[in-house]
């Protein structure tokens, strides 16, 4: 009886209709924000040997869930990350800004490198010494966690602005990561079977990286514009895929 009484204050929102609206809205928001991360995970794990891809997605997303729950437990510290720590060019920069800029630079570097390898597959010089580096399972999981840290901090700060109920935040994060776990495999398989999608997805990552850098520097780009551009590009690519399929089935006529 005592554990139930201990948890009761955290679930007092169940009788509040407004809290349920906030929960559903936050779940939807977390799922949408997870699309960026999901594209990155799909492209990254597809570079692994086929037998390791599913394992890398499961381990990476599971570790990301644990990390997000731990970050939620330190939410009072996360919220303080928006406090400016230094000023440059007439603007104060917080730890959140620096994390977003670093994450954006990482995404831009990663997407640019992958685009270069896609355009010029014969050039595999990944290091200054000209050596070819093979992505390992541990390396893939590390990169998944590194980028998820950036998206997690931003989504948690967004969640704080929507609700004060910590239980709602936990439920929303768990629901969003569960959707990521279920969608990661089909999305990765779809990207692997449709090579032209890879370039589109890398373009998305490049755009998201630039958006993170702009946001960290104080130039906020509404998410609606980003997802509208992604949706329109995906629709055009879908039409191209349909046209190629029709042409192939029609014998080229």
pLDDT digits (tens, 9 = 90+) for 207-246: 888 988 888 888 888 877 887 888 888 888 888 888 888 8
Question: Across 48-52, 74-78, 135-139, 225-229, which has the greatest mean pLDDT?
Answer: 48-52
Mean pLDDT across the stretch 78-92? Answer: 81
Residue 59, pLDDT above cutoff 60: yes
- From the number of C-beta atoms within 10 Å of its C-beta (0-12, 13-18, 19+), residue 39 rates as buried
For residue 85, which phi and psi values (nearest 5 degrees)? -110, -20
Whole-number percent of the chain with pLDDT over 70: 83
Mean pLDDT across the stretch 5-32? Answer: 66
Residue 202, pLDDT above cutoff 80: yes
| Residues with Cβ within 8 Å of residue 10, at least 6 apart in sequence | 165, 166, 167
| pLDDT at residue 47, as a whole number | 83
The greatest distance separating any two alpha carbons of the chain, rounded to the nearest whole angstrom, comes to 74
Mean residue pLDDT of the chain comes to: 78
| pLDDT at residue 2, as a whole number | 47
| pLDDT at residue 121, as a whole number | 62
Residue 126, pLDDT above cutoff 70: no
Mean pLDDT across the stretch 48-77? Answer: 85
Q: Closest by alpha carbon to 203, among 179, 236, 178?
A: 236
Q: Closest by alpha carbon to 150, among 83, 215, 224?
A: 215
- Give the span between the Cα atoms of 109 and 117, in whole angstroms: 12
For residue 75, name the pLDDT band (cuts at 50, 70, 90).
Answer: confident
For residue 128, name the pLDDT band (cuts at 50, 70, 90).
Answer: very low
- Give the span between the Cα atoms of 78 and 227, in whole angstroms: 26
Q: What are the angstrom distances between the C-alpha of 94 and each of 4, 48, 70, 122, 135?
A: 39, 36, 21, 42, 33
Residue 15, pLDDT above cutoff 70: no
| pLDDT at residue 134, as a whole number | 56
Residue 252, pLDDT above cutoff 70: no
Mean pLDDT across the stretch 108-114? Answer: 86
Mean pLDDT across the stretch 71-96? Answer: 81
| pLDDT at residue 132, as a whole number | 42
- Give the span between the Cα atoms of 213 and 99, in whole angstroms: 9
Mean pLDDT across the stretch 91-97? Answer: 86
For residue 133, name the pLDDT band (cuts at 50, 70, 90).
Answer: very low
| pLDDT at residue 174, as a whole number | 86
Residue 131 is given by DSSP the state P
| pLDDT at residue 170, as a whole number | 83
Q: Closest by alpha carbon to 81, among 68, 97, 95, 71?
A: 95
């Amino acid at each position: 009886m005592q554990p139930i009484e201990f948890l009761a204050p955290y679930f007092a929102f169940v009788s509040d209709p407004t809290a349920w609206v906030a929960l559903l809205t936050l779940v939807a928001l977390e799922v949408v924000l997870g699309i960026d991360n999901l594209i990155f995970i799909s492209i990254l794990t597809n570079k692994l040997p086929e037998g390791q891809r599913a394992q890398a997605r499961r381990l990476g997303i599971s570790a990301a869930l644990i990390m997000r729950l731990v970050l939620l437990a330190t939410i009072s510290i996360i919220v303080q990350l928006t406090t400016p720590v230094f000023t440059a060019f007439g603007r104060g920069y917080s730890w959140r800004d620096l994390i977003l800029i670093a994450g954006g630079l990482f995404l831009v570097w990663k997407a640019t490198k992958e685009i270069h390898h896609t355009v010029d597959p014969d050039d595999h010089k990944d290091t200054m010494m000209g050596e070819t580096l093979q992505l390992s399972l541990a390396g893939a999981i590390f990169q998944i966690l590194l980028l998820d840290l950036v998206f997690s901090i931003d989504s948690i700060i967004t969640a704080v602005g929507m609700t004060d109920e910590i239980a709602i935040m936990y439920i929303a994060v768990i629901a969003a990561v569960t959707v990521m776990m279920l969608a990661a495999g089909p999305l990765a398989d779809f990207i692997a079977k449709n090579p032209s999608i890879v370039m589109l997805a890398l373009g998305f990552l490049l755009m998201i990286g630039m958006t993170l850098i702009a946001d960290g520097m104080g130039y906020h780009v509404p998410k609606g514009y980003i997802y509208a551009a992604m949706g329109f590009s995906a629709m055009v690519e879908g039409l191209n895929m349909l046209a190629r399929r029709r042409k192939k089935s029609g014998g080229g006529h």
